[in-house]
């Protein structure tokens, strides 16, 4: 027998009157509002007693899980987050957030690597591990890993803290190679790079003409900082970076990218924008007082002229050369320009002579230790974990010297071989790529890698954020442009 339903006017099918349903809905909303009010009050109390640290922690709890999922599941988002955090890491730290931000970077790198292997299941592509650059990176990582067994090492903990900056960062090369799969995303990355560099340049102008923030001034007043950054009555500027060296080198490579792009863009407004950015990058670089950076643009322009020689390039590089000669010899009392001039007279520079003497002193050690004194033996980690060792108090003052001391002449040979293959691939790809836009991007990244290699001699150019991340991004783009061009040519030939 079928069920007989009796409809009573004023009642819903669930047996509740409309008034009762509205009351139930109101009760649910009221309960939700009370819960939100309680949470708001709790968060307010935490922030009131613990300040920005509590606020950052609350934001991390709210945004953390979705961010982790997006970084792993949406690699383009993850790559963007990595590049932004690498640039803004120290700027965020100086806002008063007392948190190991380097660990956050390691976490982002780890999530991108995890996403790389997850996506390999649905979109397998192991070709990126082929080629001389990939092979040399793998060899270099393995060599650094086995350094844990180096009998000359004074501390294993120094190796633990240093290997993160070597292995994890270098693995991003494969992430970039796999995840940057379109020219549109490549354009976005370059725009992001230049946009972040523009922010850094403008912030350096703020430091130069307005002054430092309270947190920055507190750091400058700490012990030993003034000895390095206060020269001839003038503070060296560091913008949003860890130190003036990292700042100046990033302004150099950003200037180089602008120069390369100027040879490709056709619209007048784009040329004007790139030219203005170039002027800002170069002028703000002078605020850093880093003499090692001043020679990098002229050195990169030598390679640029060799690869891109034509009447227009010769004219503009000639004008640029005259401008540099004028800056080198013009009489001036401006401390920034005076320091710029001393970069081209190294024999008159006391600090340059001191570095030469240090390198001469350490040569016997390098020759008698073919695999070096252990990863992390010099610098901050050496002083922390083996303060009484011979290498802990040795100032390498050079990326190449540090490698030779910590990893021996064997390690220096492997590193130089890696750099050789990156430059060789860049030159070959530049002449093989047929798409003019991709060829320009390849040229820009080749010049960036070349400048970083030269800059790695007077300073440690590849150990600090964001340079360590962006160097391997540039190395990856050198090959990505060739891959995208080959794909494009195959489509045209179908």
- What's the pLDDT tens digit per position in 37-83? 666 666 566 666 665 565 556 666 666 678 888 888 899 999 999 99
Residues 409 and 280 in one domain: yes
Task: Find the range with the poorest average confidence among 239-248, 313-322, 405-414.
Answer: 313-322
Task: Among 73, 89, 124, identify where a domain stops.
Answer: 124
> Could you tell me if 343 and 431 lie in one domain?
yes
Give me the pLDDT at residue 241, please: 94
Q: Are residues 74 and 194 in the same domain?
A: no
* CA atoms within 13 A of residue 154's CA, in its CB half-sphere: 17
Do 113 and 254 have their domain in common? no
- Could you tell me if 167 and 48 lie in one domain? no
Of 69, 102, 124, the one marking the end of a domain is 124
Alpha-carbon torsion, ordered 102, 104, 110, 116, to 10 deg: -120
Q: For residue range 317-373, what is the model confidence (pLDDT) as tens digits?
A: 777 778 777 777 777 777 667 767 666 666 666 676 777 788 888 999 999 999 999
Domain boundaries, position 130: 125-214+223-493
Q: Which of 13-17, 89-93, 366-370, 437-441 has the highest mean pLDDT?
A: 437-441
Which range of 104-108, 163-167, 484-488, 490-494 scores highest in mean pLDDT? It is 484-488
Q: Which residues contact 309 (CB under 8 A, 6 or more apart)?
A: none
Question: Domain tally for the chain?
Answer: 2
* Residue 339: φ, ψ to 5°: -65, -35
- State yes or no: pLDDT of 290 exceeds 50: yes
17, β-bridge pairs: 11
Question: 21-30, 182-191, 277-286, 483-492: which range is least confident on average?
Answer: 21-30
Residue 304 CA to residue 256 CA, distance in Å, equals 10
Q: 50 and 120 share a domain?
A: yes
8 within a domain of the structure (yes/no): no
Asked, for residue 142, whether it belongs to a domain, the answer is yes
pLDDT of residue 350: 67
Task: Please report whether residue 135 resides in a domain.
Answer: yes
Say what the pLDDT of residue 102 is: 76
In this structure, is residue 118 part of a structural domain? yes
The answer to whether residue 168 sits within a structural domain is: yes
Mean pLDDT of all residues in the chain? 85
Measure the CA–CA gap between 309 and 356, rounded to whole angstroms: 35
Query: pLDDT at residue 36 above 80?
Result: no
In a domain, 65, yes or no: yes
Q: Is the pLDDT of residue 20 over 70?
A: no
Token pair listed for 120: 């390999």
pLDDT of residue 106: 86
Q: Cβ contacts of residue 409 below 8 Å, gap of 6+?
A: 366, 367, 370
pLDDT score, position 280? 96
Per-residue pLDDT of 464-487, as tens digits, reads 889 999 999 999 999 999 999 999
Q: What is the pTM of this model?
A: 0.85
Residue-level pLDDT at 18: 63
Lowest mean pLDDT segment, chosen from 75-84, 310-319, 436-445: 310-319
Do residues 251 and 389 both lie within one domain? yes
Distances (CA, A) of 32 to 101, 304, 315, 385, 403: 35, 64, 70, 53, 60
Same structural domain for residues 62 and 131? no
**pLDDT level of residue 491 (50, 70, 90 thresholds):** confident
Give the number of other CB atoms < 10 A from CB of residue 324. Answer: 17
Q: Which of 101, 124, 147 is the endpoint of a domain?
A: 124
What CA–CA distance (Å, rounded) separates 423 from 182?
A: 23
* Angstrom distances, CA of residue 100 to CA of 4, 7, 68, 170, 326: 69, 66, 17, 20, 45
58, exposed or middle or buried, with CB in 10 Å at 0-12, 13-18, 19+? middle
Residues 295 and 434 in one domain: yes
pLDDT of 13 reads: 46
Model confidence at 34, in pLDDT bands (50, 70, 90)?
A: low
- Whether 283 is covered by a domain: the verdict is yes
Note the pLDDT of residue 12: 47
User: Which pLDDT band holds residue 156 (cuts at 50, 70, 90)?
Assistant: confident
Same domain assignment for residues 298 and 441: yes
**Whether the Cβ atoms of residue 212 and residue 259 lie closer than 8 Å to each other:** no
Domain membership of residue 80 (yes or no) is: yes
On whether both 104 and 145 belong to a single domain, the answer is no
Query: Do 202 and 110 share a structural domain?
Result: no
With a cut of 90, say whether residue 411 has pLDDT above it: yes
pLDDT at 126: 83
């Amino acid at each position: 027998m079928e069920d007989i339903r009796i409809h009573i006017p004023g009642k819903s099918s669930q047996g509740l009157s409309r008034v009762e349903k509205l009351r139930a809905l109101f009760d649910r909303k009221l309960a939700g509002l009370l819960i939100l009010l309680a949470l708001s009050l709790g968060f307010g109390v935490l922030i009131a007693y613990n300040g920005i640290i509590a606020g950052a922690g609350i934001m991390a709890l709210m945004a953390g899980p979705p961010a982790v999922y997006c970084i792993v599941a949406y690699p383009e988002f993850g790559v963007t987050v990595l590049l932004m955090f690498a640039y803004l890491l120290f700027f965020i730290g100086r806002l008063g957030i007392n948190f190991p931000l380097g660990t956050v970077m390691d976490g982002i790198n780890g999530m991108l690597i995890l996403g790389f292997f997850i996506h390999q299941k649905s979109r397998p592509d192991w070709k990126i591990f082929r080629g001389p650059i990939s092979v040399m990176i793998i060899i270099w990582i393995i060599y650094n890993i086995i350094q844990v067994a180096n009998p000359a090492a004074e501390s294993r903990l120094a190796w633990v803290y240093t290997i993160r900056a070597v292995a994890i960062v270098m693995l991003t090369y494969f992430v970039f190679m796999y995840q940057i799969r379109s020219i549109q995303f490549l354009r976005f990355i370059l725009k992001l790079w230049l946009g972040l560099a523009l922010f850094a340049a403008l912030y350096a102008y703020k430091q130069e003409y307005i002054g430092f923030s309270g947190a920055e001034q507190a750091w400058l007043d700490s012990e030993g900082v003034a000895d390095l950054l206060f020269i001839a009555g003038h503070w060296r500027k560091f913008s949003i970076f860890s130190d003036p060296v990292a700042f100046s080198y990033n302004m150099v490579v950003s200037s180089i990218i602008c120069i390369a792009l100027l040879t490709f863009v056709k619209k007048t407004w784009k040329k004007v924008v790139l030219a203005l950015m170039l002027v800002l990058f170069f002028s703000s670089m002078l605020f850093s007082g880093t003499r090692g950076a001043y020679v990098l643009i002229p050195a990169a322009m030598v390679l640029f002229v060799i690869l891109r020689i034509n009447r227009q390039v010769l004219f503009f590089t000639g004008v640029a050369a005259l401008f540099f000669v004028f800056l080198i010899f013009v009489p001036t009392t401006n401390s920034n320009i005076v320091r710029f001039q001393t970069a081209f007279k190294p024999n008159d520079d006391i600090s340059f002579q001191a570095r030469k003497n240090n390198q001469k002193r350490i040569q016997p050690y390098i020759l008698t230790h073919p695999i070096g004194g252990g990863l992390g033996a010099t610098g901050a980690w050496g002083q922390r974990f083996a303060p009484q060792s011979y290498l802990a108090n040795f100032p390498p003052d050079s990326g190449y010297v540090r490698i030779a001391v910590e990893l021996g002449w064997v390690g220096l040979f492997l590193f130089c071989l890696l750099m050789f293959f990156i430059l060789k691939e860049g030159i070959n790809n530049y002449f093989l790529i047929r798409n003019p836009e991709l060829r320009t991007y390849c040229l820009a990244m080749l010049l960036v890698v070349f400048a970083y290699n030269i800059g790695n001699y007077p300073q440690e150019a590849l150990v600090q954020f964001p340079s360590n991340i962006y160097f391997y991004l540039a190395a990856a783009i050198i090959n990505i442009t060739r891959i995208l061009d080959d794909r494009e040519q195959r489509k045209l030939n179908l």
